[in-house]
């Protein structure tokens, strides 16, 4: 294992290195390799015109570019291949390269190899962005130098030289990043696991196996934080190498973090203590109580209870997660664009005591909407559907238990802007309009952030 980024680059200087995908996560990696004198082929399925001046910049640094639809067909002879997270490791061209002896790795795996300080990693089907942010805020309030990255924020490989052993890295890790990982963070958090990203993962079993990589490579000194209520994550504890801490909203635990007497408590087998009264938090919804429990379990022993209460008293959540955009003519508009799965949208719907006007639909990840259908019947008065999955969601609602024609009323609008306007026109004083798609954004937007920003602009423009 290389102990520094310089040693890692020196080792790669003896190899021919291909980097697949010229997106946000791999661009810093490319520049570090090129400036370190490594022979690099930079590959992407997009054409040169998509990169503007970046293509010329990479070539000026010495990169050989391989762009276009056939970008994976030229990997023979390249000894180390860094794949982008969204590229399945069993893609035929990668399988063939592996058979020829190429090492398939990733920017995140290199980061784990060279990072000089403690890493806290968070994964899960839902809640990982909020939980990751909470952990980082707790640690910053306690005085640590914190680096926030992974699937949230910026790639951290370029910051490694400035990191000190006493600093802490907090990473949000997706299943795509975890699929081939051979390293695990010192503290690993799994918020929950439910069907997700089945458009990329071949099976649910493969998706679960990817999530398991966040803890399978821990040492006996590692800490694994798991959701006790989720059957899949609860089972992960049996395979852990280090200490396991559960969190649960269903009652007291002998060891772990739990809800009792309208507060979050921590117990270590000896004596429980109240850490955070629920009245001292600003975020609505039972799902955010779970996020707080997961984050508190991760920082136990690193920060004081007073720090946790201070942060909770001011933390209003992350952008695009049940974010109040505007109150206009007595109607509240919420941006929940980060809700890219049915379970996230369900959590958002359950955050309100009244029925809402819901805007949903988007890219099809090949996941079922049956559970969402029942929740929409229970929590939605008017449903506006848009995107590729609109027909599937409508069908799930109409076959859901308790559904009656017109309850909720349903509109299907292809154009996103018109869908938002339709929801606005349906609203009356006192109503709530919420964008919570239950789907990824890739059919109409680059990512959930762009979708959320578009929604906010439309609402501000009313």
pLDDT at 76 over 60: yes
Q: How does pLDDT run across 385-395, given as a tens digit for each residue?
A: 999 999 999 99
Q: How far is CA 350 from CA 291, 342, 353, 372, in A?
A: 15, 12, 7, 12
Instruction: Supply the DSSP string of 428-459, one letter for each residue.
Output: -TT-EEEE--SSBSTTTSSSHHHHHHHHHHHH
Phi, psi (rounded to 5 degrees) for 157: -60, -35
Helices (H) and strands (E) in the chain, counts: 16, 20
Q: What is the CATH number of the domain that holds 456?
A: 3.90.190.20
pLDDT tens digit sequence for 224-274? 999 999 999 999 999 999 999 999 999 889 889 999 999 999 998 767 899
Q: Which domain holds residue 261?
A: 109-312
- Tally of domains within the chain: 3
**Rounded (5°) CA angle 104-106-111:** 135
Average per-residue pLDDT for the chain: 93
Residues 329 and 342: their CA atoms lie apart, in Å, by 30
This prediction's pTM: 0.80
Q: Which of the listed residues 105, 121, 156 is the one where a domain comes to its end? A: 105
**Are residues 151 and 292 part of one domain?**
yes
Has residue 455 been placed in a domain? yes
pLDDT digits (tens, 9 = 90+) for 304-316: 999 999 999 999 8
Both tokens assigned to 296: 């508190």
Phi/psi of residue 100, nearest 5 degrees: -80, -5
One domain for residues 384 and 342: yes
The verdict on residue 401 lying in a domain is yes
Both 257 and 124 in a single domain? Answer: yes
For residues 33-43, give the mean pLDDT: 96
**What does the pLDDT read at residue 1?**
38
CATH of the domain at 93: 3.40.50.720
Domain-embedded: residue 118? yes
Q: What is the CATH number of the domain that holds 164?
A: 3.40.1190.10
């Amino acid at each position: 294992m290389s102990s520094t980024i310089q040693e890692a680059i020196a080792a790669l200087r003896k190899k021919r290195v291909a980097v697949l995908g010229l997106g946000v996560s791999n661009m810093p990696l490319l520049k570090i390799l090129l400036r370190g004198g490594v022979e690099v082929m930079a590959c992407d399925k997009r054409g040169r015109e998509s990169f503007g001046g970046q293509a010329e910049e990479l070539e000026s640094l010495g990169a050989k570019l391989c762009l276009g639809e056939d970008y994976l067909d030229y990997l023979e002879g390249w000894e180390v291949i860094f794949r982008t997270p969204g590229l399945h490791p069993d893609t035929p061209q990668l399988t063939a390269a592996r058979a020829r002896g190429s090492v398939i790795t990733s920017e995140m795996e290199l980061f784990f190899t060279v990072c000089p300080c403690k890493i806290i990693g968070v994964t899960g089907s839902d809640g990982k962005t909020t939980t990751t942010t909470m952990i980082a805020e707790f640690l910053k309030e306690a005085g640590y130098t914190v680096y926030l990255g992974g699937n949230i924020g910026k790639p951290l490989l370029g910051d490694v030289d400035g990191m000190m052993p006493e600093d802490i890295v907090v990473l949000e890790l997706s299943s795509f990043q975890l699929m081939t990982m051979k390293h695990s963070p010192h503290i690993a958090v799994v918020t929950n696991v439910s069907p997700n990203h089945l458009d990329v993962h071949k099976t649910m079993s493969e998706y679960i196996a990817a999530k398991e990589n966040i803890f399978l490579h821990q040492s006996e000194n590692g800490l694994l934080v798991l959701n006790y209520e989720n059957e899949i994550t609860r089972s992960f504890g049996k395979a852990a190498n280090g200490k396991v801490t559960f969190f649960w909203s269903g009652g007291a635990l002998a060891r772990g973090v739990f809800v009792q007497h309208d507060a979050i408590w921590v117990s270590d087998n000896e004596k429980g203590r109240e850490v955070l009264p629920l009245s001292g938090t600003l975020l609505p919804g039972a799902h955010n109580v779970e996020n707080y429990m997961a984050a508190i379990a991760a920082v136990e022993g690193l920060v004081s209870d007073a720090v946790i209460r201070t942060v909770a008293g001011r933390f209003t959540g992350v952008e695009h997660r049940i974010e109040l955009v505007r109150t206009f003519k007595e109607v509240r508009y919420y941006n929940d664009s980060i809700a890219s799965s049915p379970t996230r949208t369900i959590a958002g719907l359950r955050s309100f005591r009244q029925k809402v006007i819901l805007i949903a639909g988007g890219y099809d990840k090949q996941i079922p909407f049956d559970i969402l259908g029942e929740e929409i019947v229970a929590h939605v008065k008017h449903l506006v559907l848009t995107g590729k999955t609109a027909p599937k969601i409508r069908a799930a609602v109409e076959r859901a238990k308790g559904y009656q024609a017109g309850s909720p009323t349903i509109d299907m609008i292809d154009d996103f802007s018109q869908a938002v306007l339709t929801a606005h026109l349906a609203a009356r004083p006192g109503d709530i309009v919420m964008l919570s798609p239950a789907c990824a954004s890739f059919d109409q937007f680059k990512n959930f952030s762009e979708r959320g920003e578009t929604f906010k602009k439309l609402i501000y423009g009313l």
